[in-house]
């Protein structure tokens, strides 16, 4: 029986730049940063309040995990902003929006009331977009 999801992947254009974005702008912490045999870097981060989740920052480049053609396809989709990577939950969407915007995080849409809560659409420094959501009935 599967008990839980422990890891998920976000495809990024540059691991070092993504590491700086996720730790310095979003406030995530590094969970693992190891270079494996063959030069593959296993880099994971996660929200400080969710220690059981590791987000793999997977650099899209040719190597043991993908060929050149596949890497080019992934890079193209990321650069065009076509990769929606998930939902980040926050207790106060408007406040978090202002904090992240002040740190230079780009938003595709400001906080708006939705049937499921308050949502803003942000993107990381690679071009992946995320819903940043305050669930209905929680927070301010």
pTM: 0.92
C-alpha neighbours within 13 Å on the C-beta side of residue 120: 21
d(CA 114, CA 118) in angstroms, rounded, equals 6
pLDDT at 92: 97
Q: Which of 100, 123, 108, 124 is nearest to 20 (CA)?
A: 124
69-121 pLDDT, tens per residue?
A: 999 999 999 999 898 889 999 999 999 999 999 999 999 999 999 999 999 99
In a domain, residue 104? The reply is yes
pLDDT at 85: 80
In a domain, residue 1? The reply is no
In a domain, residue 55? The reply is yes
Q: Once rounded to an integer, what is the mean pLDDT over residues 44-52?
A: 96
Total domains, the chain: 1
Host H or E run for residue 113: strand 106-114
Average pLDDT, the chain: 94
CATH number where 93 lies: 3.10.180.10
């Amino acid at each position: 029986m599967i008990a839980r999801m422990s890891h998920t992947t976000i495809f990024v254009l540059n691991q070092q730049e993504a590491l700086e974005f996720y730790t310095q702008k979003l406030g995530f912490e590094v969970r693992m940063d190891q270079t494996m045999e063959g030069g593959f870097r296993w880099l994971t981060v996660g929200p400080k309040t969710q220690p059981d989740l590791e987000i793999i920052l997977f650099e899209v480049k040719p190597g043991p995990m993908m060929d050149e053609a596949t890497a080019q396809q992934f890079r193209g989709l990321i650069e065009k902003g076509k990769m929606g990577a998930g939902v980040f939950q926050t207790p106060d969407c408007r406040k978090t929006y202002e904090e992240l915007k002040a740190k230079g995080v780009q938003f595709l849409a400001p906080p708006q009331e939705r049937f499921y809560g308050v949502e803003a659409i942000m993107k990381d420094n690679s071009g992946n977009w995320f819903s940043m959501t305050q669930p209905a009935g929680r927070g301010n």
